[in-house]
Amino acid sequence: MPPADLSPDALSPLEAAAEIARLSDEIREHDRRYYRDDAPTVSDAEYDRLRRRLLALEARFPDLRRPDSPSQKVGAGPSEKFDKVTHRVPMLSLDNAFSDADVTDFVGRVHRFLATHGEAVAFTAEPKIDGLSLSLRYEAGRLVSAATRGDGAEGENVTANVRTVADVPTVLADGAPEVLEVRGEVYMGHTDFAALNARQEVAGEKTFANPRNAAAGSLRQLDPRITASRPLRFFAYAWGEVSEDWSPTTQWDRVQAFRALGFPVNDLMVRCADAEELLAHYRRIEAMRASLGYDIDGVVYKVDRLDLQQRLGFVSRSPRWAIAHKFPAERATTILDGIDIQVGRTGAHTPVARLVPVTVGGVVVSNATLHNADEIARLDARIGDTVVVQRAGDVIPQIVEVVKDAAHETREPFAFPHICRCDLATPLVREETATGEEGRIRRCTGEFACPYQRQEHLRHFVSRRAFDIEGLGEKQIEFFFTDQDFPVREPADIFTLATRNAASRLKKLENKEGFGATSVAKLFAAVDERRTIGLERFLFALGIRNVGETTARQLARAYGSWSAFHDGAMRVVDGDAAAREEMDAIDQIGETVIDSVAAYFREPHNRAVVDRLIEHVTPLDAEKPKTDTRVAGRTVVFTGSLEKMTRDEAKAMAERLGAKVAGSVSAKTHIVVAGPGAGSKLAKARELGVEIISEEEWLKRIDG
């Protein structure tokens, strides 16, 4: 692969095609993380740069632009990402009450603060809707903007999407104040939610875990047409900035005014005189909860008179004049019918409780998570036991308690399996990773040989940062994995495809759906290209637990060659203390990695898979890091946006020149390369007196 920092003009069409494919995959992956998972892993600036590079390449090689290129997707770019909106009046949260006593305390506090001396204070009580809050700004009776809550100070501009929500009026009825910010909850009803999920399922799209997520996901769509197709609802219950002359002077009257202006308001809002009445209404709502048709998670009480609200004011981020009385997590008692062990794609064995079906909070529950073997032991859950099941909001039902009656004592404690269900009957290991949670998971070490893990391993093997075989993506792996004529069940099979195809007289790959003579020839050429591969990619591709890209690179550089690494690993398996020490001495490598490497090569099936692969593939010796450059041995941190190259490129180049690239600034940092928008890392560097240079200075320094 050519270095990605070359100008598009310097690339051959073939090189450009490869880079376009790689960039497209990467951008798509970032899009998914950002838009679908709401969990981006790169900065906006970094993402921008990837897109710019793709656009430049496609501009230079228009023929290579695929119709499905992420550059062609309207609304996928960061420019179309939601703008930020600063809330003129912050969107605050509510303090919580969990018991009757908490509510009495709240009412008592209000009276004391206002020094009412027994004079009545009226409250409103209304359901707490489980959706996401939204602020709608109207000027002269017209909707001008809509924003999510965000961090309370700044939200996302979702105006175009909100305009498609039928419940939200775009023009208000007469009598609206000049400026009116209406706040409320966007939510999705149960029936609509179920229908949406069914549609998504049929379309092969992501389904949502609960109505709240569905509402949030639907509102935060880039394409308002998608939002329009989602059954979003809205209840108005609060306000932000409002022209001073707006007359209603109580919570109640303002919400009634919302109704008159055209907003849906919740019918279960009432006015109460004291704590007793609030609690009575709470119980009424609690009893109706399952039949409301939408999710609520409590009841909100607010002081009715606005002048009193004003006097009460706020404590930190919540009003002193309101409180959310939350429903307790719902529980029910049932019988533990069995414990199934599910084997995941990473070989993790997760126990699932099979229950005699029971209704918890209006939902029939027949499975519950048991997390891991430790949890079963902690609960001492035995099959046949009476158990207490809890369903808290949307989370998967859990067993919170086992009834330790006389019958419990007569039952056998549950024995967690020690070997995998896979046909190898491989022993399960308890992973000792840095993160405690994973440490409790039991995994099969069969890796490529374990039928539960094979496909996942193959997917990893061909992924972009591993073997990166063009034309052999997830879809193709899925095809080959199940194909009867040209099965690919382990990496070596990829490299025998061409010979198998040539040898087969009746069945030809080029005759299969989705393939043709050209694509098959291209695929085989791409496979051939990878018959030699850098050692670090090779090691990464093996899918050894805890050996990610960086670790693979460290190992490759330290051992230099496949034979040296393999020899070292096998000696560690054999318990050779010197070999272990040797591995331990490598920068950034510790017990976790060593144990994972040893577990991998201890497993005969894995060794066989690797041996078969090595018959077809030659890992190239790793480049030893340079020692004769100006940055060799220096620790560098990149921060802010880079203009000339992507973060990955900068990192790769620095490492090629013998520098070490770190993610955060510490006393060990030698150089910080700061671009526009650099923040806390830059500040830290200043504080520690670390040398700070610009991207340009950095390029000068590494030049030649």
* Least spacing, CB of residue 250 vs ligand IVH, in Å: 15
Tell me how far CA of residue 490 lies from CA of 36, 347, 480, 541, 617, in angstroms. 31, 16, 10, 12, 13
Residue 160 beta carbon to ligand IVH: minimum distance, rounded to whole angstroms: 21
d(CA 168, CA 155): 18
Q: Which is nearer to ligand IVH, 128 or 325 (CB)?
A: 128
Least distance in angstroms from the C-beta of 194 to ligand IVH: 22
Distance CA 294, CA 235 (A): 12
Angle between helices 562-573 and 577-584 (to 10 degrees): 130
φ/ψ of 356, rounded to 5, equals -65, 120
Helix (H, G, I), strand (E, B) or coil at 550: helix
Residue 615 burial (CB count, 10 A): 10
* Nearer to ligand IVH (CB atom), residue 179 or residue 324: 324
| Closer residue to ligand IVH in complex, CB, 141/217 | 217
Residue 459 CB, nearest approach to ligand IVH (Å): 39
Look at residues 568, 564, 587, 565 and name the one whose alpha carbon lies nearest to residue 576: 568
- Cα angle for residues 676, 156, 94 (degrees, 5° grid): 120
Rounded to whole angstroms, the Cα distance separating 373 from 418 reads: 11
- Identify whether 644 is a catalytic site residue: no
> Is-contact 648 29, C-beta < 8 A?
no
Give the interface with ligand IVH as residue ranges (CB under 6 A): 92-94, 126, 128-129, 133, 149, 185, 237-238, 300, 319, 322, 324
Distance CA 316, CA 183 (A): 20
- Count of alpha carbons within 13 Å of 579, Cβ hemisphere only? 17
Among 73, 81, 128, 507, which one carries the catalytic annotation?
Answer: 128
DSSP secondary structure of 624-687 = PPPSSSTTTT-EEEEES--SSS-HHHHHHHHHHTT-EEESS--TT--EEEE-TT--HHHHHHHH
Q: How far is the CB of 197 from ligand IVH (least distance, A)?
A: 23
3-state DSSP call for residue 196?
A: helix
- Minimum Å distance from CB 155 to ligand IVH? 11
In the complex, least distance from residue 696 CB atom to ligand IVH, rounded to whole angstroms: 46
Collapse the DSSP code of 263 into the 3-class scheme (helix H, G, I; strand E, B; otherwise coil) and give the result.
coil
Q: How far is the CB of 126 from ligand IVH (least distance, A)?
A: 5
Alpha helix segments (H runs only) across 401-510: 406-410, 436-439, 454-461, 474-482, 491-495, 497-503
| Least Cβ distance, residue 349 to ligand IVH (angstroms) | 38
Of residues 324 and 662, the one with the C-beta less far from ligand IVH: 324
| Position closest to ligand IVH via CB | 133
- Least distance in Å: CB of 148 to ligand IVH? 10
Q: Which residues contact 647 (CB under 8 A, 6 or more apart)?
A: 42, 46, 49, 638
Antiparallel, parallel or unpaired: β 233-242 and 179-187: antiparallel
Q: Shortest gap between Cβ of 93 and ligand IVH (angstroms)?
A: 4
**How far is Cα 168 from Cα 165, in angstroms, rounded to an integer?**
6
3-class DSSP state for residue 442?
Answer: strand
In this complex, which beta carbon is closest to ligand IVH, that of residue 19 or of residue 185? 185
> Residues 545, 596: contact at Cβ < 8 Å?
yes
With respect to ligand IVH, which residue has the nearer C-beta, 89 or 419? 89
CA distances from 438 to 265, 425, 617 (A): 46, 22, 33
To ligand IVH, the closest distance from the beta carbon of 297 in angstroms equals 8
User: Of the two residues 58 and 126, which places its CB atom closer to ligand IVH in the complex?
Assistant: 126
Q: Which is nearer to ligand IVH, 128 or 454 (CB)?
A: 128
* Chain centroid offset of residue 307 CA: 44
Backbone dihedral angles phi then psi of residue 456, each to the nearest 5 degrees: -65, -40
Pairing relationship of beta strands 233-242 and 348-360 according to DSSP bridges? unpaired
How many angstroms separate the CA atoms of 155 and 219, rounded? 13
Closest to ligand IVH by CB, 239 or 486:
239
- Residue 126 or 595: the one with the smaller Cβ distance to ligand IVH is 126
Nearer to ligand IVH, 141 or 319 (CB): 319
Strand extents, DSSP E, 105-158: 123-129, 132-139, 142-148, 154-156
b/e 244-278 (16+ beta carbons within 10 angstroms → b): eebebebbbebbebbeebbbbbbeebbebeebeeb
Q: Which is nearer to ligand IVH, 218 or 346 (by Cβ)?
A: 218
Residue 371, CA distances (Å) to 375, 377, 388, 441, 442 in order: 6, 11, 16, 8, 11
Query: What DSSP character marks residue 347?
Result: S
Residue 78's contacts (CB-CB under 8 Å, 6 or more residues apart) are: 44, 47, 48, 51
Q: Which residues are catalytic?
A: 128
